[in-house]
Structure 1
Amino acid sequence: MVQHGKYRALVAAAALALGAGPAAGACRLALAMGFDISRSVDATDYAIQRDGILAALAAPEVVRALLGSDDHVLLALYEWSGQGSQSIVVAWTAVRSQADIDRIAASIAAHTRGEDKLPTALGEALDFGADLLNRAGDCAARTLDISGDGRNNIGEEPEKVRKRRGLEGILVNGLAIGGHESGIAIYYRQRLISGRGAFVEVARVHADFPRAFRRKLERELTEQLLGTIETGENAG
């Protein structure tokens, strides 16, 4: 794993590589992020999660990674819990300026949480995220990131969704939150993530979510994206 102190160099390298191509102004990355709001996520956990996302979007390193190239990033966020319970928080938004980041943050801050007493349909969260990415349009890379604190306990298992969907051209990362179920990071590694270079970021407990989310987002926008550029292919 790249140390946090190297992220700035990676941001600069990614921006240089992405801005140098003939297709300046194209979409370099479609990044969809799904967040767990099932019954194991109480009001305090939810607030930590929301505030952690907002803090990451305000972090200078993340802002530079988002805006450091003429080629833009597309962002979308959704919440998920039980079967048929996924809700778009931020629809696909092209991030080309600080104003775009501010609009995304305002949508997150204003969002009202959905049903909070439902089980954990992780497989459906994966299926929904894949459909969402398939509606993003043309982008050089496509990444789905799903965070959660528990194993799938209703509906199709995530590994079965992976097999059924194929997920061609989609890199699936995870953010595993400990404290509710043991071995959740191992479960995410074995059952959820897919694609070359896919990884699981770990938050020991919900209180650790802001740090883990920021580190995960920086990695997706710099190290992981630069790897895609260097190999000249999507990680799928």
Structure 2
Amino acid sequence: MRRPPALLMLAWGAALAGGAEAQDCRLALVLALDVSSSVDASEDRLQREGLARALVAPGVREAFLAGDPVALAAFEWSGEHSQVAILSGWELVTDEADLDRISRTILDSRRSRSNLPTAVGAALGHAATELRNAPACRAKTIDVAGDGVHNDGFSPRLAYENFPLADVTVNALIVGGAGGEDARLVAWFQAEVLHGPGAFSVYTRGYDDYANAMEAKLLKELELPMVGGVPLDGAAG
């Protein structure tokens, strides 16, 4: 019998109960990569290389370092019970060396499984546990990349009802393909996955352009909030 979300939350209770020491941090950003069976080996390599490249692109470097630090976590997801860390815990980005190290770690990573379905709800639940262990940042964002709709376990809607995600923004990088279902895929992500103020999606036709799409999304996620024309972090001009 499949466990309902409430019992799954109890199973993850120890992780949810944890916390991290406060940091002067502007954003806790969780990167979630799809490694379900719809993603073949070459596509998985392209998404890891694309994310690694995007993190060290000149504009993204500048955005990361233009103000208080950003905390990063990353994991791969597929089936309901398959979420595996890519980074070993939270990484606080304070300088270019941090970005270089994180980029290399992602580039050198290898997927854990390749034969499981697409459990977007469980990916969101796992991201919620990651955020409970994050530094005390002023904003929280989950960045879900995927090329298919949910088909395993509890739904994204139930994840939002049962996990502490009320103050979290969830954005999406939607990867299309050669088929004719891209419009439906985009509509599903926008209706079921995007969450919170300012949530948005970026669409890319395929994994060949993953790096550019990820770079565009990171640049938007790392924009400094403005008050009266002055960034909150004081990084004017």
TM-score interval w.r.t. the shorter chain?
A: 0.7 to 0.9
Q: Compute the displacement of 1:165 (Å).
A: 2.4
The letter for the 2-side match of 1:78 is: F
| C-alpha displacement of 1:137 | 2.8
Per the alignment, residue 49 of structure 2 pairs with 51
Where does structure 1 differ by over 6 angstroms across 4 or more consecutive aligned residues?
228-232
Q: Are the equivalent residues in 2 in contact too, given 1:141–1:228 (CA < 8 A)?
A: no
Contact conserved, 2:53 with 2:103, CA < 8 A, in 1? no
Measured after TM superposition, the shift of residue 231 of structure 1 is 11
Tell me what 1:99 maps to: 97
Three-state SS of the structure 2 residue aligned to 1:27 is coil
CA distance in 1, matches of 2:205, 2:226: 27
Q: CA deviation at 1:29?
A: 0.5
Compute the displacement of 1:42 (Å).
0.5
Matched ranges for 1:24-63 at <5 A: 26-63=24-61
SS of residue matched to 2:170: strand
Aligned to 1:173: 171
Matches within 5 A, 1:94-173: 94-165=92-163, 167-173=165-171
Aligned to 1:217: 218
Once the two structures are superposed, residues 117-153 of structure 1 have per-residue CA deviations (whole angstroms, 9 ceiling, x without a partner) of 1110111011111111111031111101101000111
**TM-score of the superposed pair, with normalisation by structure 2:** 0.81
Counterpart of 2:206 in structure 1 is 205
**Structure 1 equivalent of residue 72 of structure 2:** 75
Partner letter of residue 201 of structure 2?
V
Say which SS state the counterpart of residue 152 (structure 1) adopts.
coil
Per-residue CA deviation, residues 6-46 of structure 1 (Å, 9 max, x unaligned), is: xxxxxxxxxxxxxxxxxxx7101100010000011001111
1 CA distance for matches of 2:165 and 2:227? Answer: 16
Whole-angstrom CA distance in 1 between matches of 2:54 and 2:189:
22
**Per-residue Cα deviation, 1:37-58 (whole angstroms, up to 9, x for no partner):** 0011001111110111111112
Equivalent residues of 2:71, 2:135 under 8 A apart: no
Is the partner of 1:208 in helix, strand or coil? Answer: helix
Match of 1:226 in 2: 225
How far 1:103 sits from its partner (Å)? 1.3
The amino acid that maps onto 2:35 is: I
Show structure 1 runs of 5+ residues with no match: 1-24
Q: How does 1:182-201 map to 2 (within 5 A)?
A: 182=182, 183-201=184-202
Decide whether aligned partners of structure 1 residues 97 and 231 sit closer, same or farther in structure 2, where only a CA change above 3 A counts: closer
Instruction: Give the conservation status (yes or no) of the 8 Å contact 1:67–1:97.
Output: yes
Secondary structure class of the residue paired with 2:76? strand
Counterparts of 1:33 and 1:109 in 2: how far apart (Å)? 14
Q: Give the RMSD, CA atoms, in angstroms.
A: 2.0
Q: Separation in 2 of the partners of 1:74 and 1:39?
A: 29
CA distance in 2, matches of 1:122, 1:142: 18
**Structure with the largest fraction of helix:** 1
TM, length-normalised to structure 1: 0.82
- Segments of 5+ residues of structure 2 without an aligned counterpart are 1-22, 233-237
160-169 or 184-193: which moved more? 160-169
From the superposition, tell whether residues 228 and 51 of structure 1 become closer, same or farther in structure 2 (CA, over 3 Å).
farther
Equivalent position amino acid for 2:64 in 1: L
